[in-house]
Amino acid sequence: MSHIPIEHDQMRKVTEARPALRQLIGTARSTEELLHELQVYQIELEMQNQELRRTQLVIEKMRDRYVDLYELAPVGHLTLNRDGLIIELNLTGAEMMGVERSKMINRHFSSFVCSGNADRWYLHFRDILQRDGRQQCELAMQHSDGSYLQVNVTSLKSADLLSSRTIDQLSNPDDPLNTSVQLRIVLTDITERIVAETELRIAASAFETQESLMITDPNGIILRVNKAFTETTGYSAEEAIGRYPSMLTSGHHDGDFYRSMWEIIHATGTWQGEIWDRRKNGEIYPKWLTIWAVKGDNDIVTHYVGAHSDITERKRAEEEIKHLAFYDHLTGLPNRRLLQDRLQHALASSERRGRAGALMFIDLDNFKTLNDTLGHDIGDKLLQQVAKRLELCVREGDTVARLGGDEYVILLEDLSLELLEAAAQAEAIGEKILFSLNQKYILATHEYYNSPSIGVTLFIGHEYVSEDLFKHADLAMYQAKKSGRNTLRFFDPEMQKSIDSRSSIEGQLRKALENKEFQLYYQIQVDSSGNPVGAEALIRWIHPERGMVSPAQFIPLAEESGLIVSIGGWVLDTACAQILTWQKSKQTSNLILSVNVSSKQFRQVNFVNEVQNAIQRHGIKPNLLKLELTESLLLDKIEEAIATMKSLKAIGVRISLDDFGTGYSSLQYLKRLPLDQLKIDQSFVRDIAIDESDKAIVQTIIVMAKSLKLEVIAEGVETDEQRHFLESAGCVHYQGYLFGKPMPIEQLEAFLYKN
């Protein structure tokens, strides 16, 4: 800031007083007069000096006030030269930028303008230099912490500021202000104003939302409504403003409803809920209303805001969803969810009254065959007719439900106090159902007969939870199917024990791989001379507590749970490792190892890659690995199966069709299968010496295999008579107890090297 030149003014006044003093001395008549006059003059001069000092103090105070006003002004003051460099600024200007004042001097003002506003500043700066008068613009500037602030820039060009400089500054040629053109800039922070304007725009935009809005004064008089309100209610803004919201009252709610609503608003400041109102055209409709009070700083309500949305469609959809959620779309019967709810009520009622109830599971026999032969439309007609017949078989108050597919459940309530009598009542209804569902159906143009399998479980009170009852009835239904179908069976607790044991085994089976409880046993395969040609790898589970667990127990569980894929992968890898060991010995280098493959494992999309990776990982000859596939594997998706088998053959792996003759073997497909071998099932070999039918079947298989140029091996060979017949029929490879039982690898290798 410029300094006030006080000392220079004092020197000037002293110089001006000298002539007057000389004149005074020249006119003095005597020394005494001269001294007197000098004293008077000295007094006057002292008085002038005092006045000068008082004036100087006033000026200094004014200067300090000016400095304070300049430095602490609520706006930023900056001075720029014609190159846009900052050559002077106040403290406020530096604080606005968050930069020390000394570090802003000689920096371009543009370096503080955010990049998006650079062109705007350039145009403004150019206009200041080219035109006279005040110029304004708004800029976004960047604070040192990276944030942005909005400022209003007021600029004024000053052509000659030299008169405000001090002597010292004027004598300094390097003074940056010693220039002919300077720009005075005032920065006003308008960030809060911009934010407020933005919020107002957002609020205005939000007000015109799809949700109906109404604003009233504290007395409830409508002050403003939005477009959605007019569209929903039918009242224009002009018709609504100045009236009370009661103009929408439908009469659906009584005075207590509204009193309760306003009590809540006065207590909490807000209320929301479903309410029925009336449109201008008289239509009554449901809406979801939210009301909240707007309060000022003194906590006094200034306005009420009501927001509502028309929920007519939602209510209609809720009814539809409710029906879809609780009723079967095909038959109109209750579904599982509604049945669960009614079963809970039935259990509670049974507990309270002590009367028994029953849950019946009904499954239609051979329903899949109907769908596959006549189509799903015909199948749906059967399901609808079954539903109607079931409803006619039960009492009023009983529930007939459809779980899905061809599964129905009937809930019987209020049976006898005695379980035996209740069982008889349930059985009577079951027999009625059996009779009804066995009657002829007319399905479009088709006559059709069908039978059900029914499982029943009884309950009194809460001895069992609903999930257990469903399981019990389901198990009983499967027992009915195992008993020949078209019958009724009650749940047997012993059956549950067997299921629990099965579940326990399944849980332990999941840990068996991790705990390395599996082991491969090997059963030797020989030729007609008794020479070993290979072996079949058979998995065994050595349980730490149960001991040897039969494959018949855990393989079906592994199939159902999907664990067979992981187990099959382990078997394949272990078998390949064993082949590698055999390759290293001259005596066993040509032995072929057979591995059983499950249908789930075979149908894995990466199965061929898994086999190839195992072969490459262990570095074995592919033709020493033989995969045994069952006939049942070929019943579904035969074309995909053939493609997978061809891919395996391309690798060099051998393929054997296991248990041949026990399934469905189509010669049309058999000739297309890239097989190396047919394996005669042991069920045909067992009685081959005494049963003519078995002899004929075996001979046919051998002839067919030779015609297809396939090898044949018979399993389950236990006697010399069986072997002699097979050899005479042309089968020269055998497997069975006559040659060796399945055994650990150590025993097998000892047997091989011994012989």
pLDDT at 177 > cutoff 70: no
Q: Lowest mean pLDDT of 15-19, 118-122, 690-694, 740-744, name the range.
A: 15-19
pTM of the predicted model, to two decimals?
0.45
Q: Which pLDDT does position 165 carry in this prediction?
A: 42
- Residue 624 DSSP code: G
Q: Which residues pair with 306 in a beta bridge?
A: 214, 291
**Closest C-alpha to 429, from 395, 474, 475, 480:** 395
- Burial call 426-436: b when 16+ CB within 10 Å, e when fewer: beebbeebbee
How many residues can be counted in the chain? 755
Structural fold of domain 510-754: TIM Barrel (3.20.20)
Q: How far apart are CA 518 and CA 514, in angstroms?
A: 10
Supply the CATH classification number for the domain 74-196: 3.30.450.20
Predicted confidence (pLDDT) per residue in 89-144, tens digit: 998 989 888 999 889 999 999 999 998 899 999 999 998 888 888 889 999 998 88
Q: Which pLDDT does position 634 carry in this prediction?
A: 74
- Average pLDDT of 681-707? 91
Banded model confidence at residue 253, pLDDT cuts 50, 70, 90: very high
pLDDT at 86 > cutoff 70: yes
Six-digit token string for 376: 């799903």
Structural fold of domain 209-316: Beta-Lactamase (3.30.450)
**Number of C-alpha atoms within 13 angstroms, CB side, residue 495?**
16
Structural fold of domain 333-491: Alpha-Beta Plaits (3.30.70)
Predicted confidence (pLDDT) per residue in 568-610, tens digit: 999 999 999 999 999 999 889 999 999 999 989 999 999 999 9
- Average pLDDT of 617-625? 96
pLDDT at 524 > cutoff 90: yes
Predicted confidence (pLDDT) per residue in 26-51, tens digit: 554 567 777 777 787 788 888 888 88
pLDDT at 549 > cutoff 50: yes
% of the chain beyond a pLDDT of 90: 53
Q: How far apart are CA 8 and CA 168, in angstroms?
A: 12
Q: How far apart are CA 35 and CA 82, in angstroms?
A: 61
